[in-house]
């Protein structure tokens, strides 16, 4: 069964604010970026499983570059992922290619369609 790895990471602003800096203050942006990476959590999502990206966070789909001999993994390795807002959009999902990060909200992974449904 195909799984999706999602990296749940705080936004830059959330990380900066948790470090005690306002946007107008001087701060080390490299240190903020390091902390942002440190505070990132990876979750595995299975087919038809729902997941949440909390307020102040984004979700990034992790690349699956591992050397897996499973035929199903090889078959799906080059598949594109689509972000759809309604199940009716499955017919035209090619118009909804996922580019960039997922914003805060609730999602469901639909492996058989290579899609993520925004709930």
pLDDT tens track for 49-91: 999 999 999 999 997 654 454 555 445 454 689 999 999 888 8
Between residues 29 and 63, the one the model is more confident about: 29
Please state, rounded to an integer, the average pLDDT across all residues of the chain: 87
Query: What number is the average pLDDT over the span 27-53?
Result: 95
State the pLDDT at residue 118. 94
Using alpha carbons, select from 25, 1, 4 the residue that is nearest to residue 109: 4
Read off the tokens for 72. Answer: 């199903």
Is the pTM for the entire model greater than 0.75? yes
The whole-number pLDDT of residue 49 equals 97
pLDDT of 106: 97
Q: Which structure tokens are listed for 76?
A: 């799906």
**72-59-87 Cα angle (round to 5):** 65
Instruction: Answer whether residue 46 shows pLDDT above 70.
Output: yes
15 against 75, higher pLDDT: 15
pLDDT number for residue 2: 87
Q: Is 10 helix (H, G, I), strand (E, B) or coil?
A: strand
Whole-number Å distance between alpha carbons of 72 and 81: 16
């Amino acid at each position: 069964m195909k799984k999706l790895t999602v990296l749940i990471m705080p936004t830059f602003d959330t990380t900066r604010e948790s470090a005690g800096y306002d946007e107008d203050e001087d701060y080390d942006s490299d240190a903020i970026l390091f902390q942002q990476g440190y505070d990132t959590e990876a979750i595995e999502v299975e087919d038809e499983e729902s997941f949440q990206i909390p307020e102040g966070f984004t979700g990034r789909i992790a690349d699956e570059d591992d050397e897996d001999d499973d035929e199903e993994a090889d078959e799906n390795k080059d598949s594109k992922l689509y972000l759809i807002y309604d199940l009716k959009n499955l017919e035209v999902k090619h118009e909804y290619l996922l580019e960039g990060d997922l914003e805060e909200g609730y999602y469901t992974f639909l492996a058989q369609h290579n899609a993520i449904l925004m709930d």
